[in-house]
């Protein structure tokens, strides 16, 4: 029970830090199974929100970034972990598949961003080596996980 | 001094799986390194969207040839959370038992590969000899030495008789004796230390910034283990130590893995002692309610993460797999910097590469 209380307390703090930093963003929070919390943010706030999580709340571990084509937009999920899981989610419209890179303060994000760049065509602005990660040398530039 | 580019891979005797490194060498020292992945990319994440949950278990089992069981465990754990089913305790214990056996298998296999790469064939022979014991146990339990195919959504497909439990405990005692001998070798053998100490060092700061997981992180002082830090049954009712070292070199990684192997034997024994009676599976619906879940488990190489989204049908809308090797690979350029050419094989082994995992 202590663990649950600590988690609730911590996430309240994180949520108020987000609210203070992005007053105009209609943040939504969702509790998910297996100790995970999802927070939805606008794409332009992701970089700063990740910085808050890493610098202020010590969520140093970025587990991975998931990309998902819903058919209407490309959703990105930034899964962080430090004793509890927290996922920041955002949606990019097809017309603007661009988002700021996290590699400037989390160098471990480099491979995840390269993979998403080829699989879904999301451009990570500021990534120093945005090359295909898994595609062959004669890759035709198509994105295997895109629906349209 | 002249710079020479030495290609290692995609096919190379040093590598067990296809991956390519281009090392820029000045004299005997590596100055730069570049890596190329994707030679065993099978598009498994995309394939998952075409198959039902039941079919996906068999597909995901083939991501890795060593830790196949932990992949299906992570997947089933996620799907069961989406379904909201509570598993019988016996199923959870049997699942975890196989996870721990797999960890012993993986670490012993790795020790053999390291020993082979540093030219210490005696340890290689002994480690792989002991690994056979675990493989035999797993074959007895599941019918398969590497791909076990025991997980189903809602439980497991095998059970343990009381007779079998007693033999298993005896086999584990013998195994522990052998593993302790290997642990002594790693701790005291000077040849092994001469080749692995101060090689491939990673600081705690680097480990945190590169999001490194598993034994590699624990050998650099990061005290993280999902079995302990995200306590779920059966691990919440078992006692075990999480070995952590501060040195951050390949020797520390070897020691951490061997200590973990001993802990895994303890865990197996505890689980066999505490094995609750009852059914090993529960019936679940083939259609999974719409929702999404992030499922994490501690594989032999570190944290495995699955993101699963369901749209309410019998096929997942998205399955994202993040394997531990993919995160650990990213540290290789900094580990290879200024390394003597003869130590490259030690550094590459130290990370415990599983390229099939990384490529999916």
Average pLDDT over residues B5-25: 87
Facing residue for A68 by CB, picked from B231, B318, B360: B318
Write out pLDDT tens, residues B206-223.
Answer: 998 899 999 999 999 999
Helix (H) or strand (E) holding B113: helix B89-117
With CA atoms as reference, the chain B residue closest to A146 would be B46
Kindly state whether residue A130 falls inside one of the protein's structural domains. no
Would the pLDDT of B304 be above 70? yes
Kindly state whether residue A145 falls inside one of the protein's structural domains. no
CA–CA distance, B330 with A90 (Å, rounded to integer)? 25
Average pLDDT over residues B245-269: 92
B32 touches chain A (CB under 8 A): no
- Residue A7's domain comprises 2-125
pLDDT at B297: 92
Name the CATH superfamily, with its identifier, for domain B41-328. Answer: Cytochrome-c3 Hydrogenase, chain B (1.10.645.10)
* CB hemisphere CA count around B360 (13 angstroms): 23
Helix (H) or strand (E) holding B216: helix B214-218
Q: Taking Cα atoms as reference points, which of B151, B10, B106 lies closest to residue B300?
A: B106
**Model pTM?**
0.90
Kindly state whether residue A56 falls inside one of the protein's structural domains. yes
Q: How far is A76 from chain B (nearest CA, A)?
A: 12
Outline where DSSP puts E strands in B47-189: 151-152, 155-156
- Taking an 8 Å cut-off on Cβ atoms, the answer to whether A81 and B303 are in contact is yes
**Is B231 or B321 the better-scoring residue by pLDDT?**
B321
Where does the pLDDT of residue B348 fall: very low under 50, low under 70, confident under 90, or very high at 90 and above? confident
Among A124-128, A129-133, B2-6, B263-267, the range of highest mean pLDDT = B263-267
With CA atoms as reference, the chain B residue closest to A35 would be B230
Would the pLDDT of A1 be above 70? no
Facing residue for A64 by CB, picked from B208, B305, B329: B305
pLDDT at B101: 92
Facing residue for B330 by CB, picked from A87, A110, A119: A110
Would the pLDDT of A92 be above 70? yes
Average pLDDT over residues A118-139: 87
pLDDT at A25: 78
pLDDT at A8: 82
Average pLDDT over residues B49-62: 90
Where does the pLDDT of residue B32 fall: very low under 50, low under 70, confident under 90, or very high at 90 and above? confident
Which residues are paired to A34 by β-bridges? Answer: none
Would the pLDDT of A133 be above 90? no
The alpha carbon of B313 is separated from its chain's Cα centroid by a whole number of angstroms, namely 31
Count of CB pairs separated by less than 8 Å, A with B = 93
Q: What is the mean pLDDT of chain B?
A: 89
pLDDT at A5: 82
Kindly state whether residue A138 falls inside one of the protein's structural domains. no
- Taking an 8 Å cut-off on Cβ atoms, the answer to whether B210 and A61 are in contact is no
Kindly state whether residue A135 falls inside one of the protein's structural domains. no
B145 touches chain A (CB under 8 A): no
Would the pLDDT of A146 be above 90? no
- Taking an 8 Å cut-off on Cβ atoms, the answer to whether A108 and B359 are in contact is no
Outline where DSSP puts E strands in B51-149: none
Write out pLDDT tens, residues A12-26.
Answer: 888 888 888 888 877
A141 touches chain B (CB under 8 A): no
pLDDT at A75: 92
pLDDT at B341: 86
CATH code at position A116: 3.30.460.80
Would the pLDDT of A31 be above 80? no
- The ipTM assigned to this model is 0.89
The pLDDT > 90 percentage for chain B reads 38
> Which of B34, B92, B292 would you mutate first to test chain A, the one with the most A CBs within 10 A?
B292
Average pLDDT over residues B269-283: 90
Give the start-to-end residue ranges of the domains of chain B. Answer: 41-328
- Taking an 8 Å cut-off on Cβ atoms, the answer to whether B318 and A66 are in contact is yes
- Taking an 8 Å cut-off on Cβ atoms, the answer to whether A63 and B210 are in contact is no
Long-range contacts of residues A13-16, Cβ cutoff 8 Å, at least 24 apart: A13/A57, A14/A39, A14/A52, A14/A53, A14/A57, A14/A86, A15/A39
Kindly state whether residue A131 falls inside one of the protein's structural domains. no
List of residues 6+ apart from B317 with CB closer than 8 A: A68, B49, B309, B310, B311
């Amino acid at each position: 029970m202590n663990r649950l209380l600590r988690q609730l307390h911590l996430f309240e703090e994180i949520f108020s830090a987000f609210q203070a930093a992005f007053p105009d963003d209609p943040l939504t929070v969702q509790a998910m199974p297996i100790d995970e919390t999802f927070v939805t943010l606008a794409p332009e706030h992701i970089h700063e929100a990740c910085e808050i999580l890493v610098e202020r709340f010590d969520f140093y571990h970025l587990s991975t970034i998931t990309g998902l084509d819903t058919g209407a937009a490309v959703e990105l999920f930034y899964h962080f972990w430090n004793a509890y899981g927290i996922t920041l989610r955002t949606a990019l419209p097809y017309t603007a598949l661009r988002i700021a890179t996290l590699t400037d303060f989390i160098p471990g994000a480099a491979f995840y961003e390269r993979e998403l760049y080829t699989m879904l065509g999301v451009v990570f602005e500021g990534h120093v080596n945005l090359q295909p990660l898994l595609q062959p040398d004669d890759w035709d530039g198509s994105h295997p996980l895109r629906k349209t | 001094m002249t710079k020479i580019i030495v290609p290692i891979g995609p096919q190379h005797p040093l590598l067990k799986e296809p991956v390519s490194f281009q090392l820029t060498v000045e004299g005997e020292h590596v100055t730069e390194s570049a890596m190329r992945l994707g030679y065993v990319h099978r598009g498994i994440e995309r394939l998952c969207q075409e198959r039902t949950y039941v079919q996906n278990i068999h597909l995901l089992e083939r991501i890795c040839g060593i830790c196949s069981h932990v992949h299906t465990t992570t997947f089933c754990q996620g799907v069961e959370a989406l379904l909201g089913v509570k598993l019988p305790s016996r199923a959870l214990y049997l699942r975890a038992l196989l996870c721990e056996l797999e960890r012993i298998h993986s670490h012993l296999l790795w020790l053999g590969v390291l020993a082979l790469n540093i030219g210490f064939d005696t340890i290689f022979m002994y480690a792989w000899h002991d690994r056979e014991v675990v493989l035999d146990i797993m074959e007895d339990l599941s019918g398969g030495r590497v791909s076990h195919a025991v997980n189903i959504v809602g439980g497991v497909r095998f059970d343990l008789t009381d007779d079998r439990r007693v033999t298993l405990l005896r086999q584990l005692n013998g195994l522990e004796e052998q593993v302790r001998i290997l642990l002594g070798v790693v701790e005291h053998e000077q040849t092994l230390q001469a080749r692995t100490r101060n090689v491939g060092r990673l600081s705690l700061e680097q480990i945190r910034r590169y999001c490194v997981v598993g034994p590699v992180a624990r050998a650099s002082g990061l005290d993280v283990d999902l079995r302990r830090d995200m306590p779920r049954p059966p691990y919440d009712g078992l006692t075990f130590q999480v070995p952590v070292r501060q040195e951050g070199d390949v020797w520390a990684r070897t020691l951490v893995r061997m200590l973990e192997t001993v802990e895994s034997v303890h865990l197996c024994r505890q689980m066999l002692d505490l094995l609750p009676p009852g059914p090993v599976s529960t019936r679940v619906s083939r259609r999974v309610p719409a929702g999404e879940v992030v499922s994490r488990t501690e594989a032999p190489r570190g944290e495995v993460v699955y993101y699963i989204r369901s749209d309410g049908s019998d096929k997942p809308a998205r399955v994202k797999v993040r394997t531990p090797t993919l995160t650990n690979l990213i540290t290789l350029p900094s580990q290879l910097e200024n390394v003597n050419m003869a130590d490259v094989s030690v550094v590459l082994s130290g990370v415990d590469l599983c390229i099939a995992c990384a490529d999916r």
